[in-house]
Each structure stands twice: as C-alpha cells, then as structure tokens.
Structure 1
Amino acid sequence: MNSFEWTVVGSDIGPLLLAATGEGLVSVVFHADAAVRDGALGQLAARLGAEPVEVASRDRARGRSGNGPGDGQGDAPGDGSGGAAAPVLLAEPIRQLEEYFTGRRRDFALPLDWSLTSGFNRQVLRELASGVPYGRVVGYGDLADRVGQPGAAQAVGAAMGSNPLPVVVPCHRVVESDGGLGGFGGGRETKRKLLALEGVLPQPLF
C-alpha cells in the first residue's frame, strides 16, 4: 500500500499537521490537537488510499528537545516522540514553514500535491498561490474575475474554505471587498495573526 508522511509542528498560530506524498505537500491542518490530528489522518488515509507514516517534527529532526518557537505544545501528539523517523518528504516543508513564521521567508518553493482538490476550486487555489504575493490581499470577487468567473465570489469563498494547503496556499490573503477579514477555516483570529505577520494588519499589543 502507498504511504504518506505526516507530523505535527508548532507555530505561532498553534500546532499544524503537515502531510506529504511523493508528489509534494498535500495537507496542512490547523489546531492539530490529538482529536483533530486523528480525524484528519483518517480522512487523508481514505482519500489518498495510503497509509500514514509519522516522522519527526523539526525539533526531533534537529536533535533538540522541548518546544519549537511559539508552539506552546510541550509533548503534543505527533511532535516526533516515540521514535518517529526523520522526515524525507516533509523535511523541506518543515524548514520553509519555520522560516515563514520567523520572518525569514516570504515565498514558498515547494512541490504541491493538488489531488485533494479539483475543478473550479483547484483553479482558484492555483491562481491564489501564484498570483497573490506576501503582504498583499485580494477580494473574493477580484479572485473570481482573475479565473474568468465574474460574479462567482461566493464560489471563491467555498474554494477557500476547502483549501487543503492553508498558509502555503495563502487563503488568509483573500478578504471582503469592504476590507473585512471574511471567513477562514482556521478561525478569524488565526487569519488576523497571519495577516499581521505579513504586515497587512498591525501586530497586537499583547
């Protein structure tokens, strides 16, 4: 049976589940506590027809112990404990995400596995990934126009909600035309933090 690598890494927006196949990074899941992690892994295994294989997080991969920067998770499930192997498929995603959250990276250069999305949703997400750079935002309607579907703002919103690769495919950069944040699968506070990290919104005082 085919397999895919997975791990959970800490970040300033909480634990993230990362998964990768031989094609590339396939899934990023917010708020990956034990329950979310287990549910997501079951869904990924079913959709990919592959067996999940845990690999070490960045801390174990570097031979360190303790929390990663800002993760606050301690011995969170999936942190690479229990003898997990060193990452192969996930080594570069782990490194680039750490650089992003510490302000040392603006653009991701990763192979992506788009197999969890298709049709209009994939078209919109690919346009978002290639056409809306760090520190910029786009409206739902504007993004619909870009893919030749004027008036499809609501469908763009649904595509953002189904994004299997948030952060790397930056659905947090899609906002309402009046300047409102709009919805977000990881929660509005997570969206606000990501936009603050990129300088679109002010950093919180506390």
Structure 2
Amino acid sequence: MVAAWSPSGLAGPGWSPSASAAPPVRPPQLGASAAPTGEPPGSSGPVLSRSEPVQVAIPTIGVRAHIVPVADRDGVLEVPPLDRPELAGWYRRGPTPGEAGNAVLVGHVDTQDGPAVFFDLGRLRPGDPIRVTRADGRVAAFTVTGVGAYPKDRFPTERVYGGGTEARLRLITCGGRFDTRTGNYPDNIVVFATAAR
C-alpha cells in the first residue's frame, strides 16, 4: 500500500513519538549471520569495492536525492533530519551500494508540509531501475525485484539486512494508514533490488 500524506505525518522508518507506537526497524547486531534474501543466487550483476553513496535516482517515481550516512542508536535505525525531507539516508554500518551484501537506504514518506523523498516508493514494480552514484564516481545500477508492506512489529530484518556475496539494495520508508492516535504509520514499505547485469 502506498502511504497517504497526512498533515501531521512526521513519520519515517524507526520514528516513534511514544512508547506505545509500533516497534521501529531494528538493524541486526554486528556479526549476525546472513540469511536468504529472497532473490535467486546468481541473479545479481557486478560487485564493486566500498565507496560511500552520494545520490540516488529512481526515474520511475521522479526521485533524485542526495544521501547522508545514518546509523542506529540503541538498536533503532536513524533517519535523515525531519527538516531535510528531501534527503535519503544510507545505513553506514552495512555495505555500500554496489558492494557485496544488502545496502540499505531509508527516507521519510512525508512531513507536516507534504510528501517527502520516498513518498511514492510503493509505486515501484519489478524491473524498475534505481541508480546510486558513489563517492568514487561510479554508478551502481540496480533493478527492482519486489516491493512489500510489512507491519513494523513483523519487519523482515534478515531479508533486509542479511549478507551474501551479491550486491543488493533495500529502500525503506513508512506505509499504511497514518494513525493520528499514535502519530505514526503502522507499516514499512520495503523495496528489494539487485545489481543490474
């Protein structure tokens, strides 16, 4: 489901205004074992060396956004600042886009002022292209393989953060119907992509 904008929608993956809100996205502990990612082995394109991402382009939904590094604090995935809703965040404790494993980008769905960077993420379909420009000047090209909506308390952690020998990309934002009682979205939208051949 594509998240609808709400006038009080200060939401992003892991954003929680109260203790009663659904549990946020939680990256696995460092050293966690890899798990199947959902894509068939050998379906990915070339693997690149480590280089931080600087921009993501998703032509299908008109996204061209700068990327800032984010981490996790007390097991909760950070997101870009709410006053910069046009930015995407890269989970810096994981692989960089194009490197072996699952690189993770996060972004807000909306703010009080309107749609944010990943507002239309749920419109992506298998086959859609995603391009990530890296600090080394190379562009890591990906192809969407699937899109899912998951309740935050049943987030597919291993499928999103799991390792492997192939280059994959995960995009995350909030989804579902905005809950005015908790000030949060109940779901996460996750886009799964593999390096283009």
| TM, length-normalised to structure 1 | 0.27
| TM, length-normalised to structure 2 | 0.28
Bigger helix share: 1
Which structure would you say has the larger Rg? 1
